[in-house]
Amino acid sequence: MKKADRYQQFVEYFSKHQPDAVTELEYENPYQLLVSVILSAQCTDKRVNMTTPAFFKNFPTPEVLAASSQVEVFQYIKSISYPNNKAKHLVGMAKMLMNDFGGEVPADVDQLQKLPGVGRKTANVVASVVFNKACMPVDTHVFRVSARIGLTVNAKNPLQAEQQLVKNIPEEKISIAHHWLILHGRYVCIARNPKCHECGIKQLCKYYEKLQGKRPYPPH
Ligand code: SF4
């Protein structure tokens, strides 16, 4: 299958079957999403969602968080992975928001990356989800799934995968395609033993094609 056809079928399938895909993180404003995404590194969205209600009750704004200590913040996120580092990053992030950005979360990916605890992936999530920018955050699910399907080829790192995906997915679909890939990786194309038998895109998947060991595709 040609690359362009693979992309076209991928976009067509998910546009039809998951037209409203969104993040599973629960948030009410850009500040809350930024905090949640920082907390979600190496942690499940489910656990983050269990933690954030109490967190936002006690640290409702960047101003309050900036005036808090790392020890205070730690108490509210200690069930999350790497709580010490994340507490330090959250306070530092809030201080920078207050000092350099007037207390507002910036929409620009480069500016977002200046904040403590905010790497390229986190910046892309915030820009994509809150500001609806055509950004493609590449996490472990997006990296694995896009390579298996054959959307990315020989991508050696998340940045290379991001560049290939952004180049080939129609601009207006990039933001939602990020959710398609994450959700597909979380529930169907899981890391070990992907559920190919129940996968709706096996007809366009390179990994599945190789599994069959022949063309054209067998009946399914
Ligand atoms: S067919 Fe299998 S490997 Fe391909 S996307 Fe579906 S679950 Fe993943």
187, 198, 201, best to mutate for ligand 1 pocket (most atoms within 8 Å of CB): 201
CA distance 67 to 124: 27
| Among 17-31, 60-74, 143-157, 202-216, the least confident range | 202-216
Q: Are residues 153 and 113 in the same domain?
A: no
One DSSP character per residue, the chain reads --HHHHHHHHHHHHHHH-TT---SS--SSHHHHHHHHHHTTTS-HHHHHHHHHHHHHHS-SHHHHHTS-HHHHHHHHTTSSSHHHHHHHHHHHHHHHHHHSTT-----HHHHTTSTT--HHHHHHHHHHTT--S-----HHHHHHHHHHTSS-S--SHHHHHHHHHHHS-HHHHHHHHHHHHHHHHHTS-SSS--GGG-TTGGG-HHHHHHHTSSSPPP-
Residue 144 in contact with ligand 1 by CB distance below 6 A: no
Question: What's the 211 CA to ligand 1 centre distance in angstroms?
Answer: 10
Look at residue 186 and tell me if it is in a domain: yes
Q: Are residues 184 and 107 in the same domain?
A: no
Look at residue 66 and tell me if it is in a domain: yes
Q: Are residues 65 and 82 in the same domain?
A: yes
What pLDDT, on the 0 to 100 scale, is given for residue 181? 97
Look at residue 144 and tell me if it is in a domain: yes
Structural domain ending residue among the three candidates 129, 155, 179 = 129
Say whether 121 is catalytic: yes
Question: What's the 111 CA to ligand 1 centre distance in angstroms?
Answer: 36
Question: Mean pLDDT across the chain, nearest whole number?
Answer: 94
For residue 214, pLDDT over 70 is answered with no
Task: Out of 45, 114, 139, 206, pick the active-site residue.
Answer: 139
For residue 215, pLDDT over 80 is answered with no
Q: Are residues 123 and 145 in the same domain?
A: no
What pLDDT, on the 0 to 100 scale, is given for residue 123? 96
Question: What's the 185 CA to ligand 1 centre distance in angstroms?
Answer: 9
**Structure tokens given for 217:** 């595709």
Look at residue 101 and tell me if it is in a domain: yes
Q: Are residues 122 and 35 in the same domain?
A: yes
Q: Are residues 73 and 48 in the same domain?
A: yes
10, 149, 186, 209, best to mutate for ligand 1 pocket (most atoms within 8 Å of CB): 149
Average pLDDT over residues 73-97: 97
Say whether 114 is catalytic: no
Structural domain ending residue among the three candidates 129, 158, 181 = 129
Whose C-alpha lies nearest to ligand 1, atom 2?
196
Q: In which band, very low, low, confident or very high, does the pLDDT at 86 lie, cut at 50, 70 and 90?
A: very high
Q: Are residues 154 and 69 in the same domain?
A: no
Look at residue 217 and tell me if it is in a domain: no
Report CA Rg, the chain: 19
- 216/188: higher pLDDT: 188
Cis status, amide bond into 216, omega within 30 of 0: yes
Give me the CATH number covering residue 72: 1.10.340.30
How far lies 200's CA from each of 19, 81, 148, 207, in Å? 15, 33, 14, 14
Structural domain boundaries enclosing 177:
3-21+136-212
Q: Are residues 145 and 122 in the same domain?
A: no
Look at residue 218 and tell me if it is in a domain: no
Q: In which band, very low, low, confident or very high, does the pLDDT at 219 lie, cut at 50, 70 and 90?
A: very low
Q: Are residues 83 and 60 in the same domain?
A: yes
Look at residue 34 and tell me if it is in a domain: yes
Q: Are residues 13 and 52 in the same domain?
A: no
Look at residue 68 and tell me if it is in a domain: yes
Structural domain ending residue among the three candidates 129, 148, 177 = 129
Q: Are residues 45 and 97 in the same domain?
A: yes
Domains: count for the chain:
2
Q: Are residues 99 and 164 in the same domain?
A: no
For residue 220, pLDDT over 60 is answered with no
Give me the CATH number covering residue 181: 1.10.1670.10
Per-residue model confidence as pLDDT tens digits over 169-191 = 999 999 999 999 999 999 999 99
